[in-house]
């Protein structure tokens, strides 16, 4: 059970690390704070958690993960408006 949790956390860490890398590259090259990279990481993290939970996880958390994915998608949409 703990190996599945570690694999899931590593996959989510890859998403957030790539978001930090994009933020840093854009800050260095363009001198612009690209904070949307962190907003974009939310739905991708939710997708990874949703996939791993549907394959390995407890089915009772599926609804909660689905709700988090919907809320993250809404935050992604609202950040693209601004």
Confidence class for position 67, pLDDT limits 50, 70, 90: confident
What mean pLDDT value characterizes the chain?
Answer: 82
Residues 6+ apart with CB under 8 A from 11: 48, 52
Distance of CA 69 to the CA centre of its chain: 9
Confidence class for position 1, pLDDT limits 50, 70, 90: low
Nearest to 41 by CA among 21, 19, 58, 59: 19
What's the pTM value of the predicted model, to 2 decimals?
A: 0.74
Backbone angles phi, psi at 56, to 5 degrees: -110, -30
Token digits of residue 60: 């009772």
Per-residue model confidence (pLDDT) at position 15: 94
């Amino acid at each position: 059970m703990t190996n599945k949790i570690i694999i899931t956390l590593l996959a989510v860490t890859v998403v957030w690390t790539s978001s930090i890398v994009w933020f840093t590259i854009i800050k260095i090259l363009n001198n612009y704070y690209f904070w949307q990279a962190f907003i974009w990481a939310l739905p991708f993290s939710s997708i990874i958690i949703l996939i791993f939970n549907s394959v390995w996880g407890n089915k009772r958390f599926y609804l909660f993960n689905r709700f988090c994915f919907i809320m993250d998608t809404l935050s992604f949409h609202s950040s693209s408006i601004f």
